[in-house]
Chain A
């Protein structure tokens, strides 16, 4: 074989190896020389400078975290503030054996299993030279007991820290939100936004609500203290400091009392309410029920509480006002009526004869009205007042989905409102293009028909309904809903006012607007669907009821409230504004599984508006009597009392019902209705 050439090769290879190794060695020597040069530069030529710096380096720079801004309601009521308290903290790399140190500390101050667990969690997320709390909120006595024994615990210190508190609790959790410890994800975000240096010494950051969306304003600027230390590294005195600048105080449009009343009048129901100021889009109340205690989250929620909140079928952590999407149901009708007038499909005087159903030309399928025998002769005003379905089936069919969608979109349906909170959902204003994209199926005419009464694919959040209602109330000004009204610079005392943001102005002919408003006023009067809730109102009250279906009822079956499981009952909807001649509040209420808009949602709106306009506090709340009777009873009682008018899109007396849509439409996948809440198929 080729033994010889191989040997030659091997020799050649070895020679090359030796040469290359020497070459690499020479490069290494060169680089070491560079290092040596650097050392000579630093340690000989720059020695004086660094010597001086090192002497001064008895002085440490310690960051002093700023006080977080306070959050107030419109009247100055505190919604979130700070209080000072003592914490016991350990710096791991100075403390020696941690477990042993903690065991010995536990003899002095109370340290329970929860504290240890949280400490271990924080330890795994922190660097060894960072100070980590083992116990928060020390009592004075505990702090004193530790101080006496401090010499036994190197690396353990008592520090005064500011703690966040939410005095108003549950009803405000979804608006104000909460702060929590900065985690790795927050840290990465801060670093990428170049804000990390400003968070040295800060452990918490806004995690939800206003606390999250206004984080940059609330946090403030971290200060630097030059502290002289003794040889042990303990602070001797403060030499100079750039003081921290506290975060801005935030003033909300929200009215704390209104918010509390709105949350309370829900009673045992789940749901959401959004009340807006029609003059500028300010959010007067934003409720999502049930709420939760935001204070639980500040220092890391414990497992038991977290499970209880996260696994609860009531889903308290979801902000239903912005993230709950429901078919708007009959609350869409005033907007449809306006579309019909403005786009020229209806004149104010036009009437139709309602036989109790509508059929597409050439089809025998009947889209039934909720009233089996029909409403007789129906003009536009009456169609709103009695919530006539047939009228809108027909109007929708004439307009077509394209024009309908275009017009309703002007009121903000199908798009995020841009409220100053994170996580808002956009809802859905369907179109043939959307359906093609989403399901790769054509649009059926029957789908347009049921879209006319706010069923089918159309989805909106309670916030979107409130915004659309606001635009109706103020004559077409679509404001971006805003929680924050102003903020106050703590140093200069200067107040910056948030300007109302106009998203769009809808031109509506005054006589059309007047007609639709008048019809909504009559909804609340005898003969209207919400007459019971409107009875005796001392102001002009405009409203519209609606129902969002949870469970579809097969053709030929009937919806029987008593026989249907509580969580399959319809969601009750109601939109309103008042006083109708000069609106000062516009709102939308959604009551999950509330049954009928008139029975559960409208009375809630009535109480909220009564308080806002007249200062009337509901009787039940003054007694503090929250109904504990369970959903069945709670629902039954007011409904029987007030004899609610029938609600739209409901078949109270047998017959087929548009709940599956037309035969055409029923071939399509079921629309994703009403996600949050205990609605499981």
Chain B
């Protein structure tokens, strides 16, 4: 009896439908990582460790009431900006980008922290100013967004910068940024596109060009796209069956357990599998949105909504990249790709969403 009571308390803030959907996705992930890694026992041990840590973190975060979470927003944001600045000064260079900060015992990538810290900060800011909101405040919020994004662009890490920009934009959009500004901004952005092209690093330009014509560079950047579309297309309607994907197993696919895991999945499970995966993502996003609407205050609504939309963005960008309609940016498929950092940050995000929905207002007037 006591045990049951304790368990009930432990899971008190977990949303059962959402948890069930996430569980299905993690199941698909486990099966695919197993296949993609060539049934590597080492990889599976590491994968389950990641899963355990990430689910534990989610559970923990779901217990934090929104009011308390709100207190973290500003310190987390400031810490993140300071760390990004430190990276700029003394960061380690890995694969040509300066993203890591060496703390002696371990290396951290401050841009990962910003994935949650930025939407939290913006949601807190809009919540804090909700009674007096005007264009001026949106401009200030945009500045809060631009600072970390600027640092990350400079590393250079176009993928992360784009996704953090997206998450910040979602907060502003859900927080009531006027349509006129959104449409005007979009028009301006379109006009500035040729200008932005000039600012891109050569390798980034190359990626965009390669996406438009992969065969132009079969030994270089086009290789990834050519191989992943072959894997995808050859999966056909029903797929080649679990563990029977030829492309993945023949080492044609680089990064097949991480960024390109969707190619392995859809080679083995075919169009049916891909469709079911889209449905699963869709269901998670729907449920997430429902939970976001139930949040008690502005901060909770904006943050939860932005987290769900960012989750969608990750999934869309990754699948778009693997199927060759978006340029190659280093974005994992959320909750499917192998990798601890991404797993933890996504599930912590859902922990926040659950907390927002299940912690009701203490005082109701």
Interface residues of A (CB under 8 A from B): 3, 6-7, 9, 13-14, 16-18, 20-22, 24-25, 28-29, 31-32, 34-36, 38-40, 42-44, 46-47, 49-51, 53-54, 57-58, 60-61, 63, 94, 96-97, 124, 127, 129, 184, 187-188, 191-192, 196-197, 200, 222, 224, 229, 231, 233
The one of B233, B249, B252, B316 in contact with A31, judged by C-beta atoms closer than 8 angstroms, is B316
Q: How far is the CB of A451 from chain B (nearest CB, A)?
A: 45
List, in ascending order, chain B residues with CB within 8 A of A188's CB. Answer: 96
For residue A224, which residue of chain B has the nearest CB? B219
Q: Are A42 and B232 in contact (CB under 8 A)?
A: yes
Residues of A within 8 A of B274 (CB): 36, 39, 43
Q: From A35, A191, A231, give the contact of B206 (CB < 8 A).
A: A191
Q: How many A-B residue pairs have CB under 8 A?
A: 154
Return the chain B residue nearest A6 by Cβ.
Answer: B131
Question: Given A25-B285, A28-B309, A39-B266 in contact, is the A13-B176 Cβ separation under 8 Å?
Answer: yes
In the complex, the answer to whether B95 meets A42 with C-beta atoms within 8 Å is no
Residues of B within 8 A of A18 (CB): 293
Known contacts A58-B250, A197-B220; is A39 also within 8 Å of B42 by CB? no
Check A54 against B230 for contact (C-beta < 8 Å).
yes
Are B293 and A17 within 8 A (Cβ)? yes
Q: Are B298 and A32 in contact (CB under 8 A)?
A: no
Other than the given A35-B323, A43-B237, 12 more pairs (CB < 8 A) read: A13-B298, A17-B176, A35-B320, A39-B275, A42-B229, A51-B233, A54-B230, A57-B250, A96-B40, A127-B95, A222-B219, A231-B249
Closest to B94 in A: A124
**Residues on B with beta carbons closer than 8 Å to the beta carbon of A184:** 93, 95-96
What are 17 of the A-B contact pairs (CB < 8 Å)? A9-B131, A17-B305, A31-B316, A38-B320, A38-B325, A43-B232, A47-B237, A50-B234, A51-B236, A53-B233, A57-B250, A57-B252, A60-B252, A127-B95, A184-B93, A191-B202, A233-B251
Residues of chain A with a CB closer than 8 A to B292's CB: 21
Inside 8 A of B325's CB, which chain A residues have their CB? 34-35, 38
Bound CA–CA A124/B93 (angstroms): 10
- Residues B233 and A50 in contact, CB atoms below 8 Å apart: yes
Against A, the Cβ 8 Å flags (1 = close, 0 = not) of B263-281 are 0001000110011001001
The smallest beta-carbon distance between A96 and chain B, in angstroms, is 6
A46 partner residues in chain B, CB cutoff 8 A: 233
Q: Is A50 in contact with B251, judged by CB distance below 8 angstroms? A: no
Contact (Cβ within 8 A) A47 B130: no
B250 cross-chain contacts in A, Cβ below 8 A: 57-58, 60, 229, 231, 233
Within the assembled complex, what's the spacing in Å between the Cα atoms of A32 and B281?
A: 9
Q: Tell me whether A50 and B316 are in contact (CB under 8 A).
A: no
CA distance A21 to B232 in the complex (A): 32
Q: State whether A54 touches B234 (Cβ < 8 A).
A: yes
A192 and B247 within 8 A (CB): no
Contact flags B228-247 to A (C-beta < 8 A → 1, else 0): 01111111110000000011
B249 pairs with A21, CB closer than 8 A: no
Bound state CA distance, A231 and B229, in angstroms? 20
Nearest chain-A residue to B235 (Cβ)? A43
Closest 5 pairs (CB-CB, A-B): A50-B233, A54-B234, A43-B271, A42-B233, A197-B219
Instruction: Give Cα A127 to B259, complex, Å.
Output: 14
CB-nearest residue of chain A to B236: A47
- Contact yes or no, A53 B206, CB < 8 A: no
For window 275-298 of chain B, which residues contact chain A by CB distance below 8 Å? 275, 278, 281-282, 285-286, 289, 292-293, 298
The yes or no answer to B47 lying at the interface (CB within 8 A) is: no
Name the residue of chain A whose CB is nearest to the CB of B311.
Answer: A28
Decide yes or no whether B85 CB sits under 8 A from chain A: no
Whole-angstrom CA separation of A97 from B232 in the bound complex: 30
In the bound complex, how far is the Cα of B130 from the Cα of A196, in angstroms? 52
Residue of chain A at shortest CB distance from B282: A32
Q: A191 touching B203 by the CB < 8 A rule?
A: yes
Q: How far is the CA of A97 from the CA of B206 in the complex (A)?
A: 35
The answer to whether A25 and B234 touch (CB under 8 A), given A43-B274, A61-B218, is no
Contact, CB under 8 Å: B233 / A47: yes
* Cα A251 to Cα B135 with chains together (Å): 70
CA distance A537 to B141 in the complex (A): 85
Inter-chain contacts of A58 with B (CB < 8 A): 246, 250
Residue of A nearest to B93 (CB): A184
Bound CA span A54–B253, Å: 12
Q: Which of A34, A42, A50, A94 has the most CB of B within 10 A?
A: A42
| B254 adjacent to chain A (CB < 8 Å) | yes
Query: In the bound complex, how far is the Cα of B235 from the Cα of A53, in angstroms?
Result: 12
Complex Cα distance, B176 from A451, in Å, reads 75
Say whether A63 contacts B229, CB under 8 Å: no
Q: Mark B204-230, 1 if CB is under 8 A from A, else 0.
A: 001000000000011110000001011
When the two chains form their complex, are residues B293 and A97 in contact, meaning their CB atoms are under 8 A apart? no
Judge whether A24 and B174 touch: CB under 8 Å: yes
- Smallest Cβ-Cβ distance to A191: which chain B residue: B203
Q: CA separation between A188 and B255, bound complex, in Å?
A: 21
Q: B312's closest neighbor in chain A, by CB?
A: A28
Tell me the minimal C-beta distance from B182 to chain A in angstroms: 10
Write out the residue numbers on chain B whose beta carbons fall within 8 Å of the beta carbon of A13: 130, 176, 298
Contact digits for B318-334, partner A, Cβ 8 Å, 1 yes 0 no: 01100111000000000
What residue in chain B is nearest A50 (Cβ atoms)?
A: B233
Taking a contact as CB atoms closer than 8 A, the residue among B40, B247, B285, B320 that contacts A28 in the complex is B285
Contact of B125 with A by CB under 8 A:
no
Residues of B contacting A3 in the complex (Cβ-Cβ under 8 angstroms): 365
Q: Is the CB of B233 within 8 A of A36?
A: no
Tell me if B128 counts as interface (CB < 8 A to partner A). Answer: no
Task: Report Cα–Cα, A229/B320, bound state, in Å.
Answer: 30
